Amino acid sequence: MATVRVVQMLLYAGTILFTYLLARRIFDRPAGMVAALMMAVPPVMVTLYTTVGIGAYGEALLFGTCLLWLGHRLAHEWAGRWLGWLAWGAIAGLGFWSLGLIMVYIAPVTILWLLRFERRLWPGYLVAVMGFLVCSSPWWIYDFTHNHAAMRVFYDPSSPVTVALPFSSLERLGIFLLIGVPALVGFRFPWAADYVLVYLAPAILAVYVIALLSARRRWSTLSSAARHGMLLLVLLLAGFLLAFAVTRFGIDATGRYLLPLYPPLCIVVGGWWSELRSRKQVWGSLAIAFLLTFNLGSVALAASRPAGLTTQFIPALQVGNKHDQALISFLLENDMPYGYSHHWVSFKIAFLSGEDVILAPLLPYLSRPSHDPSKPGRYPRYSEVAYSAQNPVYVTTNQPWLDEMLRAGFAEQNVGFQEATVGPYRVFHHLSRAVVPDQLGTLRVRDTYDDDRH
């Protein structure tokens, strides 16, 4: 677990560094320092998704900010450095392979290069393209050999939620403004629908709006290179809004896909602060301190809740980690290390126990069965181990509907059992005979809902 945290810390440290370097190129060193400080003390959503090892969000932020900084340098003083072009292409390729959202970074730099196109630089462009194709080749190989499954991450014509008709695009814009932006600036936890600390919203939003207006006003006073840097940020925002409107990234209302917008926001705030004259910088410093205090306070408030900071959106799955070791100890001490649970318990417990406890992810986690228990699941080896267990257990989490389905299924099969509670976990154990989920008719899929798209 510590290794995962260290890796995420290093990734985010790199993101802070490149945010600082980009802000320094566009404005000046003080702007870079303020931008880095804001990156170091971010809102809840940024804190959450840059400390968990899921989704490649940390990699996307690091690669993305590096692409903006390096791409800007290649458009100016590093134009003749072919190794730089190769590095940019390689980073873009790795980023694309990691998370398709990296395109909101690649597109602005590409547009800037096209605007500054010089015939003598076409070998550099070609080197960048070659680096991109080589380092993203696993993505393309998988896509072409699996019926374009990778491309369907962006767009799936068979899914009605992907079709971006005008009205649906307007709905997504509403989601962006009312749900995404509050999560981005810290007024909504990404796992909940309600707002928090809303009485501070006017003051917080005022600082950001003033900073954005200041950046717009400074445009004409900036050097050509600085304007190109600002153009990158504007193009990033425009590209993001387009992607949010027409790709599958726009159907997620949690706010996590808005992460690429936070570094540019920090850069703009840093530029505003650096522009203030010495007499006004006192008030600007107080405004920055207010933002940082708000970010720290909202993170502390989120961490104080029972589940703490969580990536789970379903209340029944917001169980935290406090009782995980107790569950592992209970299962091992009673010689019943194998059995069944749902996706969000199975892999966590397997990891924490060093696979001493294996719970095949064959139980549903939605209130309607969405996984066919007759299929082996995402990791068939775990299912094989559970199938062969003589004393299997069934583990649920704050899911009374699933508990009732299990009780009914055991009754249908004339199987006796015992129940135990370990924190938020309910364990069905010491079954009178071993049964697998597929034998429990109450667990069979009732519709064609695809849990991988949930």
Task: Render pLDDT for 291-314 as a digit per residue (tens, 0 to 9).
Answer: 999 999 999 998 887 777 887 777
Among the residue ranges 279-288, 323-332, 346-355, the one predicted with the least confidence is: 279-288
pLDDT at 165: 46
Residue 206 has a CB neighbour count (10 Å cut-off) of 11
- Residue-averaged pLDDT of the chain: 86
Task: Render pLDDT for 205-260 as a digit per residue (tens, 0 to 9).
Answer: 999 999 999 888 888 888 889 999 999 999 999 998 888 877 777 777 677 889 99
**Contacts (Cβ under 8 Å, ≥6 apart) of 446:** 368, 369
DSSP string, 317-386: G---STTHHHHHHHHHHTT--EEEE-HHHHHHHHHHTTTSSEEEE-S--SSS--S-TTS--S-HHHHHHH
Q: What is the mean pLDDT of residues 181-199?
A: 87
DSSP string, 106-167: HHHHHHHHHHT--GGGHHHHHHHHHHHHHHTHHHHHHHHHTTTTTGGGT--TT-GGG---HH
pLDDT at 444: 59
pLDDT at 368: 58
pLDDT at 169: 66
Report yes or no: 42 and 262 within 8 Å, Cβ to Cβ: yes
Extract the tokens encoding 107: 């597109």
452 vs 250: CA distance, rounded Å: 16
| pLDDT exceeds cutoff 50 at 289 | yes
Extract the tokens encoding 23: 């802000």
347 vs 362: CA distance, rounded Å: 12
186 vs 199: CA distance, rounded Å: 12
| 443: confidence class by pLDDT, cuts 50, 70, 90 | low
Q: What is the mean pLDDT of residues 441-451?
A: 49
Q: By C-alpha distance, which of 344, 347, 264, 343 is closest to 307?
A: 344
| pLDDT exceeds cutoff 90 at 356 | yes
| 124: confidence class by pLDDT, cuts 50, 70, 90 | confident
Is the model more confident about 91 or about 315?
91
418: left (phi over 0), alpha (psi -120 to 50) or beta: beta
Q: What is the mean pLDDT of residues 160-183?
A: 69
Q: By C-alpha distance, which of 74, 87, 69 is closest to 26?
A: 69
Q: What is the mean pLDDT of residues 69-79?
A: 93
Report the greatest alpha carbon distance in the chain: 81
Among the residue ranges 4-13, 35-44, 279-288, 306-315, the one predicted with the least confidence is: 306-315
Residue 216 has a CB neighbour count (10 Å cut-off) of 12
| 372: confidence class by pLDDT, cuts 50, 70, 90 | low
Helix (H, G, I), strand (E, B) or coil at 7: helix
130 vs 124: CA distance, rounded Å: 10
CA quadruple 132, 134, 137, 138: dihedral sign:
negative
**Contacts (Cβ under 8 Å, ≥6 apart) of 204:** 185, 186, 187, 290, 291, 294
Q: What is the mean pLDDT of residues 4-23?
A: 92
